[in-house]
Structure 1
Amino acid sequence: MDRPNYITPAGFAALRAEYDRLFGEERPKLVETISWAAGNGDRSENGDYIYGRKRLREIDRTLGRLSAKMKAAKVVDPACQPDKRRIFFGATVTIADEDDNRRTLTLVGNDEADACTGLVGWDAPIARALRGAAIGDVRRIALPGGEREYEVLSISYPCARS
């Protein structure tokens, strides 16, 4: 990777939890099932064996992908941003368009983005356009439906944990 893969501590913990669940729980159970099925004779028509091997390959691919993501991750705690008056990684922002339609979004790592809940990936077009903006700034953002201007109404960051 040529650029850091920023991620919040919560996002990294979620990746780690998924990795641990697959590696520590699901994979061992599956290996046990495959071993049992292999002992039942003809493997060519053994559904438990065939499905188990296929699922094991899927789990191993997922574990490799999660491992690569965690290795490349640069954990950034949004509460530690030095300039909380501007939009940087981890900021929760309220913006309004020309019609005063308001949206609240949080800029997070690309691996933890979920547009339905307002979590926008750091490299998304709207996040790139908002980077560095302050309250009152107007930014033009190219969206699939055309360009729109958004005004930054508020910026907040999570409180630092003590």
Structure 2
Amino acid sequence: MKRSNSKTLLITREGYQQLKAEHDELWFKKRPEITRIVSWAASLGDRSENADYTYNKRLLRQIDSRLRFLRKRLEELNIVDYSPQQAGRVFFGAWVELEDDDGNSLKFRIVGPDEIYGRKDYISIDAPMARALLKKQVDDVATVSTPNGPKDWYIVAIDYPQPTQPS
């Protein structure tokens, strides 16, 4: 498997659909809208003192940069769908509920690194916590290395989202 930026190239189907929707929004709506504004602002003449032109031209470059990133990333990502063989163990895409000796609890989903932004309940498969949990079952102990030393977490529950039909 090819690696980019040392990130795992796995993504859930939902995550892939979100990136694809972002791409389509930028390509079919935002970019044409900003291109029209840039063309209009350019038609006004002196571009060096034209704030509309300068701002929207910069915005257009940012959109184009994000589109290039998304196209490349969408091509190299591997969608991982739930498989019945995963039941009862922690694998990619699992919702995991944990508890420590002090009664603290955590619940999160293990996803690809492209999916964690804006979500406090998702962690990357590349995170030490996720790596410590892989292949474990309910009632197993996962020991995670932390800056303060190893910490034990007990697996309370493992769940997988209901599979959606591939689109």
Residue identity matched to 1:63: L
Q: Which runs of 5+ in 2 are unaligned?
A: none
Hey, what does 1:31 align to over in structure 2? 35
Distance (Å, rounded) in 2 between the aligned partners of 1:116 and 1:40:
43
Where in structure 2 are the equivalents of 1:73-112 lying within 5 Å?
Answer: 73-78=77-82, 80-112=83-115
What is the deviation of 1:159?
2.4
CA distance in structure 2 between the partners assigned to 1:124 and 1:135 by the alignment: 20
Structure 2 counterpart of 1:12: 16
Partner of 1:53: 57
Query: Helix, strand or coil: the match of 1:65?
Result: helix
Question: Does the 8 Å CA contact 1:4/1:72 hold for their aligned counterparts?
Answer: no
Contact 2:8/2:113 (8 A) holds in 1 = no
Q: Output one character per residue of 1:121-140: Cα deviation in whole Å (capped at 9) or x when no partner.
A: 11111101111111111111
CA distance in 2, matches of 1:159, 1:48: 47
Q: Which amino acid aligns with 1:82?
A: Q
Looking at structure 2, the residues matched to 160 and 33 of structure 1 have their Cα atoms a distance apart, in angstroms, of 42
Per the normalisation by structure 2, the TM-score is 0.89
Match of residue 160 from structure 1: 163
* Residue 116 to residue 17, structure 1, CA distance change in 2 (3 Å): closer
Q: CA deviation at 1:82?
A: 1.5
For 2:107 and 2:156, locate their aligned partners in 1 and report how far apart those are by CA, in whole Å.
10
How far residue 81 of structure 1 moved from its aligned partner, in angstroms, is: 4.5
**In 2: Cα distance, 1:55 partner to 1:115 partner:** 22
State which of 59, 65, 69 in structure 2 corresponds to 1:65.
69
Query: Which one has a larger percent helix, Structure 1 or Structure 2?
Result: 1
Partner-residue secondary structure (3-state), 2:88: coil
What is the aligned partner in structure 1 of residue 120 from structure 2?
A: 117
State the TM-score, normalizing by the size of structure 1: 0.91
Q: How far off is 1:66 after superposition?
A: 1.1
Shift of 1:83: 2.6
- 8 Å CA contact retained: 1:91, 1:155: yes
Kindly provide the amino acid, as one letter, of the partner of residue 47 in structure 1: A
